[in-house]
Amino acid sequence: MAQILIFLGPPGAGKGTQARVVARELGIPHISTGDILRAAASKKTSLGLAAKAKMDKGQLVPDDLMCPIVEDRLCQPDCKEGAILDGFPRTLAQAECLTAMLSRVGLDEPLVLNIHVEPESVIKRLTGRRTCQTCGEIYNVYLNPPLRDGICDQDGGQLVQRADDNEEAIRIRLQAYDHDTLPLIDYYQSKGHLRQVDGNEEPEAITAKLLSFVKTHDYL
Ligand code: AMP
């Protein structure tokens, strides 16, 4: 049965890194709403330009823009076997709209995997983050540097820093997380859909834990 997985956690918890690996392992798509918005911003679509103004400041993009983007994406044929949502939902309103859209599309309630990290460790993870412009591989100049400065090990692509990985935007993103996203932990916990993973462990150990939760969940 198709299963939607939600990767929850503060900015810098490693959601994107883990979602890439787990999606590859399970053969389901990795849907990052941040990546969708950044792609729209670089194409300068009207959605992209509206989103960029918010993203660069570290603010959330309004729910009424986000929900249709995710519903459109989940209706694509490659989501038939399930998908990983990374960065969505981020507010209670988005969680409610996801529940409604999953029942419209005929999918079960999601399994929510919360990657827990201490707030102090997040700044280093975010300021050090670099992403390959070509393949999206994620590095960290302090914690997981590439072999050659600024160059992706996988395909030689250029590594870039996100516009919102600066201290001011990070501060606002963490506030938005505390205020808008943290309540989702109780929301999904009370439905019995939440599993906790320690984001301070080695990346391979985190991946193994995430996969074990998925595999013991009876869906995939
Ligand atoms: P991320 O790549 O998940 O860190 O997202 C980067 C930025 O995109 C966020 O700081 C928000 O401005 C915007 N964004 C991504 N997903 C959402 C969402 N589900 N709701 C609102 N804003 C979002």
Q: Identify whether 130 is a catalytic site residue.
A: no
The CATH code of the domain that includes 208 is 3.40.50.300
Ligand 1 centroid distance, CA of 59 (Å): 8
Which residues constitute the domain of residue 94?
3-32+82-128+165-215
Nearest atom, ligand 1, residue 54 CA = 12
Cα Rg of the chain (Å, integer): 17
Sheet strands (E) in the chain: 3-8, 30-32, 82-86, 111-116, 129-132, 138-140, 159-160, 194-198
Q: Does residue 108 sit within a domain? A: yes
Q: What is the pLDDT of residue 218?
A: 60
Q: Does residue 147 sit within a domain? A: no
Per-residue tens of pLDDT for the chain, all 220 residues? 578 999 999 999 999 999 999 999 999 999 999 999 999 999 999 999 999 999 999 999 999 999 999 999 999 999 988 999 999 999 999 999 999 999 988 888 999 999 999 877 898 899 999 999 999 999 999 999 999 999 999 999 999 999 999 989 999 999 999 999 999 999 999 999 999 999 999 999 999 999 999 988 764 4
- Specify the DSSP class assigned to residue 148: B
Whether the CB-CB separation of 22 and 211 falls below 8 Å is answered with yes
Confirm or reject: Cβ of 12 under 6 Å from ligand 1: no
Q: Identify whether 24 is a catalytic site residue.
A: no
Q: What are phi and psi of 91, to 5 degrees?
A: -140, 160
Q: Does residue 66 sit within a domain? A: no
Domain count, the chain: 1
Nearest atom, ligand 1, residue 87 CA = 3
Q: Does residue 59 sit within a domain? A: no
Q: What is the pLDDT of residue 1?
A: 58
Confirm or reject: Cβ of 97 under 6 Å from ligand 1: no
Q: Does residue 198 sit within a domain? A: yes
Torsion from C-alpha of 48, 49, 52, 54, nearest 10 degrees? -110
Rounded-to-integer distance, Cα 132 and Cα 150, Å: 9
Which residues pair with residue 114 across a beta bridge?
A: 8, 196
Confirm or reject: Cβ of 129 under 6 Å from ligand 1: no
Residue minimizing CA distance to atom 11 of ligand 1: 60
Q: Does residue 196 sit within a domain? A: yes
Q: What SS3 class is residue 30?
A: strand
Q: Does residue 115 sit within a domain? A: yes
Q: Does residue 39 sit within a domain? A: no
